[in-house]
Structure 1
């Protein structure tokens, strides 16, 4: 079953074309990460699927219906980075309020437990930390027992332990056969969670596949090591490489010829320890897929409106 479908979708904001004729199908039970630089068009695409924006051309369907149809929207949950909830209400009061919007909601206790907020159930929103508020927004998103949930940068503001618990909760929710569409700038999260990654750039889908498939789009190996002295770009002059990052005595570079690079560094008398040579990771693949020449970066980059359409869900 297809949960969401976009066909030939374009979207213009004045002279700016945010989406340029994209086709996308999201199947039931998928855990999909929608990735892209700021202004790439991903937020506009999600706004279309939620019925918050209309395409300039093309068609968008949610559960085979117009995304603005209440029958489709009642089967969705949305987690925002910020939400206009009543700050004076407690966690349990807010969850029960949101449950009332849906025909067959989840129990309040289960929604709160999925978000790991049992100890905070009676606390007002004003007493929650930033990470706890993020988990509250997740509880509100699942309160209607949705078939598909859209998560917009869900772990922003969470500490390491909360983030790990939260990611496990998403995995468990997906294991029940729910469809999850995730946007995140934490590429390690996308690599860990997603079974499918769609990369959007300049209003176009530039890659679509499993995390391993996306990473395979980058030729080369990632070489990291520590040196016996502070490093500079001059130490790597003339060596075959695509990317180089230096932090004090530590270097990280992407190259198609790791053996030649290391041989040259040894010949130059560089001391190397903690050496690691691995395949390209998702971050490197993402940067390679969305890289542009500086000359055309400002001229042709797709630009989305300043305010996210996801922020309109609770308006």
Structure 2
């Protein structure tokens, strides 16, 4: 991607907390108009990376920039919106009061009505924050993050506590913001969320980026395809084919794992012309993430043993 579109960067950044290395020379770029998903196991360095970009902490070494400035520069900070995992908000204020208070920090804020509409909380404006469910509170926090018309929005586990309907509504709002030119950095443990939203995915492990690319590029790390179908061909027969890795029978359907899906499908159709409900699926992002992190751990172990 063109470096001219880069609006935030970590370059060769190290960060330690006592004896713990949180970031180990990480390189990370965020570009205008993209949704970047940061994935990684707990303790990988995702939250520390965001904290540095927000100016909440300082790097021990390396370069951290936000819109070409120091992340603690007030002009840079006014161009971002933030929704962290936890938020300590005045519990007795009404939702509309929280939104007005947040908007007052910005020179040209969105209206309360626009923030509420984007976050799907118009019906909550007169409710006190303390009286809301966890999912409703997360939607209010999202509305507050939008108040300053951010060019770059940081969303740290944004849909925790939300039901499926609320989560999908928030996804639609996030897509709308990206389509309008905003950039979004998303951290999430819901891999289907990253799969649904991300233009680019960075997998972080032990304070370094171990893989990055589009969702499709990361899924390509896993060569196995999954075939499901209803067939009269016995599972034992299919399991004996050299192209097949594993076979199971579940609820009347054969489930086949193979790296040679086309060859297996041809054989299935050749032996059973009445085969039905045929599905062929590539690996999901969850499988790719598991394989990438496992490979990274194996490489680290081999390096330590050498």
Give yes or no for TM over 0.5: yes
In structure 1, distance between residues paired with 2:244 and 2:189: 25
Which of 278, 286, 289 aligns to 1:286? It is 289
C-alpha contact 1:79 1:138 (8 A) present in aligned 2? yes
1:87 is paired with a residue whose SS is coil
8 Å contact 2:210–2:296 — kept in the other structure?
Answer: no
Question: Residue 239 of structure 1 contacts residue 261 of structure 1 at CA under 8 Å; is this kept in 2?
Answer: no
Structure 1 residues 33 and 252: alpha-carbon distance in aligned structure 2, compared to 1, 3 A threshold = farther
Answering whether residue 121 of structure 2 is matched by residue 131 of structure 1, we say no
2:192 to 178, 188, 198: 188
CA distance in 2, matches of 1:172, 1:40: 30
Inter-CA distance 287–274: structure 2 relative to 1 (3 Å threshold): farther
Task: Kindly state the Cα deviation for residue 169 of structure 1 after the two structures are TM-superposed.
Answer: 0.7
Q: Distance in 2 between matches of 1:284 and 1:129?
A: 32
Contact kept, 8 Å, 1:92 with 1:108, in 2: the verdict is yes
Shift of residue 13, structure 1, vs aligned partner: 1.8
* SS, match of residue 34 in structure 1: strand
- Post-superposition offset of 1:15: 2.3
TM-score, normalised to structure 1's length?
Answer: 0.80
Task: Measure the CA separation in 2 of the matches of 1:120 and 1:68.
Answer: 33
**Residue of 183, 208, 212 corresponding to 1:179:** 183
Counterpart CA distance in 2 for 1:199 and 1:256 is 24
Counterpart mapping for 1:1-315 below 5 A? 1-224=5-228, 254-257=257-260, 276-291=279-294
Offset of 1:124 from its aligned partner? Answer: 0.4
Report if aligned partners of 2:95, 2:128 keep a CA contact under 8 Å in 1: yes
Cα RMSD for the two superposed structures: 3.3
Deviation at 1:16, TM superposition (A): 2.1
Question: How far did residue 86 of structure 1 move?
Answer: 0.7
Q: How big is the shift at 1:150?
A: 0.3
Distance 2:45 2:245 in 1: 27
Q: CA deviation at 1:286?
A: 0.7
CA distance in 1, matches of 2:26, 2:47: 13
Q: Is the 8 A contact 2:80 2:152 kept in 1?
A: yes
* Alpha carbons of structure 1 residues 237 and 130: separation in structure 2 relative to 1, 3 Å: farther
CA drift of 1:241 comes to: 8.0
Q: What are the superposed Cα offsets for residues 259-289 of structure 1, whole Å, 9 maximum, x if unpaired?
A: 8989999xxxxxx986533211111111110
Distance in 2 of aligned mates of 1:81 and 1:175: 25
Structure 1 runs (4+) greater than 6 angstroms displaced: 225-228, 236-253, 259-265, 293-298
Distance in 2 separating the partners of 1:213 and 1:286:
12
